[in-house]
A and B are shown apart, each in its own frame.
Chain A
């Protein structure tokens, strides 16, 4: 379990970094924040490529850095593999030699998937003999993922691995990232400023702004809070993990605790778990059960609270659907017109076509079972 505390300052009156957080022993912890908030600096310090003024970094009880005790393990002995934004494949080596670079230097007793397994996982078998210069951006990044995983690291660090790619290449690589996350059984720290990557990949979220941790916790829990910078975004909304109940007639029915959603997603067979972002601005409410609407999802709910949205004319409605809470963004005028008060029974209206079609399978944390722990 990575345990990180860092203090660093750039220049004399420059920007100061002061963060502390923990990440679970398995799955993706996203460090999310605007450009220049210090998240890449945190990653460089964990990898050992930057020496912070003050800090302590431990991994499963192994201290990698402790400035108070004068401990600083060299990067080459930290076993923290990095996937860089610009891939950084060695141009003079073939794809296969690149993949084996870290593996050849890993301790003999280090466990992890083999070359064939990783090659199959990332779909790069046809590239092995090529040089990195002859790969597309997406292929390069997939090879970089494989090279990092094959170094048999104890911690995978990803520094905006999709940021240098265009939308099509991002969509190509994202499912491979999800597969790697599920196969790796490792803690992964994932730096990004793209919310869709958080939605697709992250289990835990560390929100960073101006060098400080604003909030940290499970992604679903943080997206339901209206007091965080996340809520100020136009695409703010609750992340909901659902299970495919039925896929037929062009519609997929997704079950979640407290209800069922009808969508047009193509997510896979019944039983597949997916995570969806229910954007607050896409959800409307009615005080009586509406009739004659095209909207497929008309769900009974209870108004749990009315919260400011950061915009003077809009508020968030927190809606309880059984144990699940979702957010709807409506105007203050509507609140007054409908006389909305907490505790009222309401109907939540969600169009079936509103969901992002790039949803990737949700992470199932089952490493303990798979590795017999």
Chain B
């Protein structure tokens, strides 16, 4: 049904989205925790920084990454010179750009999840002898897990379609950084590529809808499991 190079774009999209979620999930939980539970100087600034990718044009985010992680950038330079790691124009780079773009989505969702956890339950666990880590693992984490799950699924779905930041930072290299939206864009720019564009658009649409349905089913199960059904 799909040509080999079209399959490649689909697989690459899935890979980039998965890697971006894997990279950003833990830091996002940490930042969401800080924003939801801690009062510290500069909290408003951190909040604004986290939300920046939502309001700044994706191309600008890609350009910023290029400046920071480029081979001569302040982070990309040492990475390349000391560890031989190059992010620009690579699959890893596409995953990084996607992770930065979807980071605020995860943070917002996890933060909502944390704010839904009744702190009275944590206090109860405390009086029953549970220390900080014990409390987090046995009470807070299970109760905030719907927020984490929703954040991860949304970020994954959004990551499948990230365009501006990826094309700016990682470029449009088939088999390396040409994800679904980039492949669709290329197809529309190629004479006779209309059929390819239509097929890939259909795949894109199907993936998005099944992702949403799956998230809905898991969320329902989770609420039952948490005794909120």
Contacts and interface: CB of A to CB of B under 8 A. Distances in A.
Given A92-B143, A131-B227, A102 B129 contact: yes
B205 interface: no
A101 B131 CA distance: 12
B52 to A, nearest CB: 35
A91 B226 CA distance: 6
24 contacts: A48-B126, A74-B131, A76-B130, A79-B129, A80-B127, A82-B124, A86-B120, A88-B120, A88-B123, A90-B121, A90-B124, A91-B143, A91-B228, A92-B225, A101-B130, A102-B128, A106-B129, A132-B227, A133-B227, A133-B228, A133-B229, A134-B227, A151-B127, A151-B129
Given A49-B123, A88-B120, A147 B143 contact: no
Nearest to A151: B128
Contact of A92 (B129, B131, B142): B142
Which 9 residue pairs of A and B lie closest in terms of their CB atoms, listed nearest first?
A105-B129, A102-B128, A91-B227, A131-B227, A133-B227, A88-B124, A82-B127, A92-B226, A75-B126
A76 B125 CA distance: 8
Interface string A60-92: 000000000000001111111110101010111
Contacts of B120: 84, 86, 88
B216 interface: no
Number of contact residues on B: which range applies?
A: 20 to 34
A47 interface: yes
A218 B118 CA distance: 38
A49 B229 CA distance: 30
B139 interface: yes
Interface in A102-120: 102, 105-106
Interface string B146-188: 0000000000000000000000000000000000000000000
Contact of B131 (A47, A76, A90, A157): A76
A199 B123 CA distance: 30
A48 B142 CA distance: 25
A82 B139 CA distance: 17
Contacts of A86: 120
Contacts of B139: 90
Given A92-B225, A92-B226, A133-B229, A105 B121 contact: no
A80 B118 CA distance: 21
B5 interface: no
Given A86-B120, A88-B121, A91-B143, A101 B225 contact: no
A92 B227 contact: yes
Given A92-B225, A92-B226, A47 B127 contact: yes
Given A77-B129, A131-B227, 9 more contacts: A49-B127, A75-B126, A76-B131, A86-B120, A90-B121, A90-B125, A92-B226, A102-B128, A133-B229
